[in-house]
Amino acid sequence: MIIDVSFKQTGFKKESSLMTKYAITAATGNLGQAAVKELNKLVGADNVVVIARNEEKAAKLFPNNEVRRGDYEDVESMNAALKGIDRVLFISSQPGGKIGRAEEHQNVINAMKNNSVKFVAYTSFPDAQNSTTPLAEDHRITENAIKAAGIEHSFLRDNWYLENEIGFLQSGSANQPVLYWANNHAGWALEREYAEAAAKIVANDNPQEVYELAGKARTYDDLGHALQKATGNDFEIKQVSEDDYIAALEKTGLDHDTAALFASFQSPIDTGALDENSDDLEKALGHELTPIEDAIKEILAR
Per-residue pLDDT of 66-115, as tens digits, reads 999 999 999 999 999 999 999 999 999 988 788 999 999 999 999 999 99
**Taking the domains of the chain in order of start, what are their residue ranges?**
22-158+190-213+277-286
- State how far the Cα of 186 lies from the Cα of 210, in Å rounded to an integer: 19
pLDDT higher at 17 or 252: 252
- Considering the chain, what percentage of its residues have pLDDT values greater than 90? 92
Q: Which fold has domain 22-158+190-213+277-286?
A: Rossmann fold (3.40.50)
Burial (CB count within 10 angstroms: exposed 0-12, middle 13-18, buried 19+), residue 110: middle
What number is the average pLDDT over the span 215-226?
A: 98
Please, are residues 34 and 192 in contact by the beta-carbon 8 Å criterion? yes
When pLDDT is cut at 50, 70 and 90, the band that residue 8 belongs to is very low
When pLDDT is cut at 50, 70 and 90, the band that residue 298 belongs to is very high
When pLDDT is cut at 50, 70 and 90, the band that residue 6 belongs to is very low
Q: Is the dihedral of CA 301, 25, 3, 187 positive or negative?
A: negative
- Interhelix angle 166-173/292-300, rounded to 10 degrees, is 80
Please, are residues 188 and 169 in contact by the beta-carbon 8 Å criterion? no
Q: Is the pLDDT of residue 133 over 50?
A: yes
Please, are residues 105 and 70 in contact by the beta-carbon 8 Å criterion? no
